[in-house]
Every structure is written in structure tokens, then in C-alpha cells.
Structure 1
Amino acid sequence: MKNFITNFDLKNKISENLVLYIIVLVCLCTGIVLGIYAVKYMGSFERNDLTNYLSNFMVSVDKSDAKNLEVLIQTIKNNIPVIIIIWFLGLTMVGMPLILVMDLFKGFSVGFTISFLMKELGVQGIGISLLTVIPQNIIYIPCIILASVFSIEFSLNSLNKNNYKNSKDNLAVQILSYTSTFVAIIIFMCIGFLLEAFITPNIIKLIV
């Protein structure tokens, strides 16, 4: 329990792993920039397909075809596997590069979505981005950052055999503490899941 609480002493964690936080943030921001440029240089065929999909989605929401439970399930499917993969990569000794790649893709997804909405829908796209894309990502992105840093830290520590020289029990305790951190992150992300499933569709209906 002591280790679990220590993991969430964010002030100390940030100061101890400041370089890791900077690296993760750089990857996320790089992904966002790449997502923005991907929209700018996207071909007309791909743009038309995405525009048609977006229009159909907004019409279905406006007609109350979107079911909150289905949206919740899909949201969980989209996010939980990412956290689980990051958790698993932290247990390996070569997880850091792959974790950073996942952060890059997360940033790309956010940047692409916001940029596409603003480019194709104008003022309405700005409203949709501010009210339906950014709010849950204010929760998701810090969770991804924390998960990535904890995972990279654990992965780097696993390279140092001195950390685990005492006994297998010591390793088991560290893995349990590491896992409990991710459970807490997932629980916190549930706020975003509920927001995206039950609040976002109603906001889109108001905007439409």
C-alpha cells in the first residue's frame, strides 16, 4: 500500500522523471503537429470519404440513433487496450521506443481530428472540437502521459539488475505496485468514458 501511494506522489514523480515527461510530451506534440499537417496535405478522395462519414455520424446523432451504451462500449474498446499495451511494454526491457510510438500516434489522432473538424466544418467544427473532442482528451492525455512515464520508468529499471537482486518477492511487489498504478489510471479515465458516451452526443445534437 505504501508503494501504491508513493506512485501517486506526483510532485516527486515529476521531479524525479522530468526528462521522461518532456520526452513523452514532445512525442505527443509531434504527433499533434503531424496530424494537423496530414489534414492539410490529405487527398480529395480521402477527404470526401471522411467528410461523408462525419456527415452521416452527425445525422445519426441528431436523429438520436446513437445509443449511449454502445458509445460507451466503443469508447472503452478504443482506450483500455492502449493502456494495457503500455502496461505490458513496461514489463519488457525494450518497451520505451514502442511506448513513445504509441504516444506519437495518440497525438496524431487528436491533432488530425481537431484539424479536420475545423477545416471541413469551419466555425461549427471549432465548436464541436472545443465541446466534444477536447474535454475528454483533457482527461485521456494526462492519463496517457502518466501511464507512459510510469511504464518507461519501470522498463528502464528492469534493465538495472540491481533493482531485483534481492529476491523474486521484491520483483513481485514492484510489479503489483506498478499494476495498481495502471488500475488507478483506468479508473480515472472512466470519467472521460462517461463524458464521451453520455455528454458528448447531446452536445453534438445541440450544435447540429
Structure 2
Amino acid sequence: MYTRIMHELPTKAHQTRYGHPGAIIWLTGLSGAGKSTLSLNLERRLFEQGYFVTALDGDELREDLNADLGFSPSDRTENVRRVAAVARFMANRGALVIVSLISPFEEDRQRARAASHVPFRLVHVDASLDVCQRRDPKGFYARVAKGGIQQFTGVTSPYEPPPSPDLLLKTGELSIAACIDRLVRLVEEAAPLERRTPQEH
């Protein structure tokens, strides 16, 4: 039976140390829409502003934590569940966690939000399939065309666009800089950074 661990340091102590509450910024969208690019640029921008921030990338986690999972609907659901659990744990310890994950099913995304217990903002990184196929930064679409990948989201497996994301970024139209500016505003609303005097650091 699961027993909840009572940490010696409460969540408020972490918030006081880092100067902001923990939160999760969840980027969803097709492969090639720009999730990883925005995640890494946002991580750097927030780090420079003084946030305790980290980025969790779905492709990286597939190589380690979720290496045992395939791409069936049930495996995709489990993939989201595990990533959400890691993000929740880190956010509860005071981190601003940026998740970039295709997470194609609305029910899975809503389950991740409901279980977060911290500010959770869902961002739809929206680019058309045509744009994503032209970009193809990791060569996935080329492999799909040759039959090398089965159950690929947006082509041979469904993607359910969020009906009401907290932020919609049309990356086929907006520059990276414009997207990052909008993401920073979203973060500052969800997890405002306390401004301190030098002697308080």
C-alpha cells in the first residue's frame, strides 16, 4: 500500500528559497511543430531571469524513463502519466517545469492537469501537418513515408488538438522570439518571480 512521504521541507520553504512557486508549462503539438525549440529557448530565458527552471523533453525521456513503451494508445497514455508524475514531483519541490510532449489525447492531458496540484498551463504549439513535414527536424516524417515508423501522430495515429488551451502558438506564423515573449508572460502570470533586494540573495 502506498504511503505518502511527508517531506521535512514544506512546499512553501522551496517557494521562499527560489522566489517563485512551482508550476508546470505543458507544450503539446505535432512532431516538428516547435515544442523542443520553444522549450529550450524558454528555459534559457527564464533561467536568465532568475527562475529555478528545467525542461523535460518527450524524445529524451523516451530513450530512458519510457524506453519500454511503444506507441499504442495505452502506451501513449502511460507515457503521459509518467512524464506528468515527474513534472509534478519537481514542481512540488519548487521548480518551474517545462514539458514538451506530443501528448496527443485530450483525456490524458486533462488527467495530467488534474493531478498536478500546482499551477498548470497547457500550451498548444500549433503548426499544420504540411509545415511539420517540411521542417521534419528529426527525420521522422521521412521515415514514416518509407514505412519505417508505424502509429505516427498526425499521419497514421490521431492527434486531438486542445479545445481550450491556456495559450495557442501558431508557429507557422509567429517567430520564435514572439512565441517566447508570449510564453514568458504566461509563466509570469502562473508563477510570478518575487523581486528581491541584493542582500536577500
Bigger RCO of structures 1 and 2 (CA < 8 A, at least 6 apart): 1
More strand by share: 2
**TM-score scaled to structure 2, two decimals?**
0.30
Rg (Cα) greater in structure: 1
**TM-score scaled to structure 1, two decimals?**
0.29
